[in-house]
Amino acid sequence: FMRELRSLHVPEQSAGGRSETRRRVETILARESLGAEAVARRLGLSVATLRRRLGDEGVSFREITTEMRKTLVTTLIESGQP
């Protein structure tokens, strides 16, 4: 019951401006490339709940993965790696 109650609260922003759900998704995706279904399973959520929470935080799963890919590409280009 308490977990459900906590999930109703507006997500807090971390020091870097990232919400808790987004931060957890980014942590998982930094380790391996997974789809929304697999990430939701790892977080113990349904895909619908994951998408809803991210939507409440103003971001989509696709936006997170796109942003992370852009960051990776930029890092590789700047370091001179093919």
Give residue-wise pLDDT tens across range 67-82.
Answer: 988 888 888 888 786 6
Residue 47 Cα to chain centre, angstroms: 12
What single-letter DSSP state applies at residue 55? H
Strand partners, 19: 13
**Gap between the Cα atoms of 11 and 53, Å rounded:** 8
How many CB atoms neighbour CB 71 within 10 A?
10
**What's the rounded Cα separation, in Å, for the pair 64 and 68?**
6
pLDDT in tens, 13-30: 444 556 889 999 999 988
Higher pLDDT, 20 or 50: 50
